[in-house]
Amino acid sequence: MGSHRRPAAPTGPDRCVRTATITVLSAAAALAAAPAGAAPQEPRADTKAKVDRLYEQAEQATEAYNKADERADTLRGQVDRAKDRVARGQERINTMRGALGSLAGAQYRAGGIDPALALMLSSDPDGYLDKASALSRLSARQSGELTKLQQAQRALSQERAEATRKLTELEKSRKTVARHKRTVESKLAKARQLLNSLPKEERDADGRSSRSGRGELPDLAGAGAPASSRAAAAIAAARSAVGKPYVWGANGPSGFDCSGLTQWSYSRAGVGLPRTSQAQAGAGRQVPLSQAQPGDLVAYRDDASHIGMYVGNGQVVHAPYPGAAVRYDPVGMMPVSSVTRV
C-alpha cells in the first residue's frame, strides 16, 4: 500500500509526468465513484453509437473499394482488347507494306525508262497501256488502304493510351480507398477495445456482442421454399460459408465481405451478380419484405451499403463486419432498404 504523505513538488520533466499521471488517476477515480445508473450510462451509449458509425463507414469504404476494383477489371479488359486490335491492325499494315514494296519494285523495274519512250518501243502498245493503268489503280487502292490502316492504328493507339490513363487513375483511386479503409479498421479496433473494456454483463447487453457467436443454423421451421432452384443452391453455398471470416474486398472462398458473400453464393448456383451491394440490390425484382422468400437479397441502410441473403423464418446469413465471421442474424438487425429476388 503506497504512502498517502504528499511528496515534495517535483520540477522539470518529472513534474509534467507526475501531473499527467495524477490527472488520469483522478479521472478514473471519478468514473469509478459515479453512481451505477448515472454518468457511466452516457459513455456507454456514446461508445455503441461510435461503433455503429464506424461499422457503417467501414462498409461504405469497402463498397467504394469494390466498385473501384470492378471498374479497374473492366478497364483492364478494354485495354487488353485494344491491344489486340492494335496488334491485328499492325499485322495488316505490315502485310500491306510488303505487298506495296513488291509492287514498288515492279514499278521501278518497269519504269526504268521514260513512260512515253517505253510506250513507243513497246511491241504491244495496247497491252502496255492496260498494264500501266492496272498498276496505277492498284497502287492507288493499296495506298488508300494503307492510309486507312495507319489512321486506324493511330486511333487504336489513342484508345489504348486513354484506357491506360483511366486504369492508372483508377488504381490510384483504389489505393486511396484502401488507405481510408485501413484508417476505418484502426478506428474499429479502438472501438472494439472500448466495448471489451466494459463488464461482461454490459457487453452481453449489446446487440453486436450477443450475436457475435451466431454460427449455428437457426430454427427455420416453416421457413418456406426457396424462390427458385438457383436460390436453393445459393442458400446452400452461403450456409457452407458460415464461420468464414469477414475480409474486406474479398469474395471467397476463404473470406468475404457482405456483397462478396452474396456474389460468391450465387456464382455457385451459376448466376453472375454485380460486385457491390448497391448494384446487387438492383439485380432483380423488388419484393416487399413481408413477401421475402429464402434466397432473396436483403439490402440495408438508405445507401444499400450492406447486404445479406434471406434464409427464411426472419433470418439472414451475411458477412457482418471486420472481426466477425459469416453468421445468421435477424432480418431486422438494421433498417432494410430493399428486398431483391434474383
Q: Which positions are annotated as active-site residues?
A: 258, 306, 318
Residue 170 and residue 78: Cα distance in Å, rounded? Answer: 14
Beta strands of the chain (E only): which ranges? 285-286, 297-300, 306-312, 315-318, 327-330, 336-341
Residue 269 and residue 263: Cα distance in Å, rounded? Answer: 10
152 grid coordinates:
486506324
Burial of residue 72 (number of CB atoms within 10 Å: 0-12, 13-18, 19+): middle
Helices 41-110 and 258-268 pack at an angle, to 10 degrees, of 60
DSSP-based three-state secondary structure for 146: helix
Please, which contacts does 83-92 make with residues 24 or more away whose CB atoms are closer than 8 Å?
83/160, 85/156, 86/153, 86/156, 86/157, 86/160, 89/149, 89/152, 89/153, 89/156, 90/153, 92/149
The DSSP code for 271 is -
Distinct helix (H) and strand (E) counts, the chain: 9, 6
Burial of residue 144 (number of CB atoms within 10 Å: 0-12, 13-18, 19+): exposed
The DSSP code for 331 is T
DSSP-based three-state secondary structure for 97: helix
Residue 273 and residue 19: Cα distance in Å, rounded? Answer: 59
The phi and psi torsions of 285 (rounded to 5 degrees) equal -95, 130
The DSSP code for 307 is E
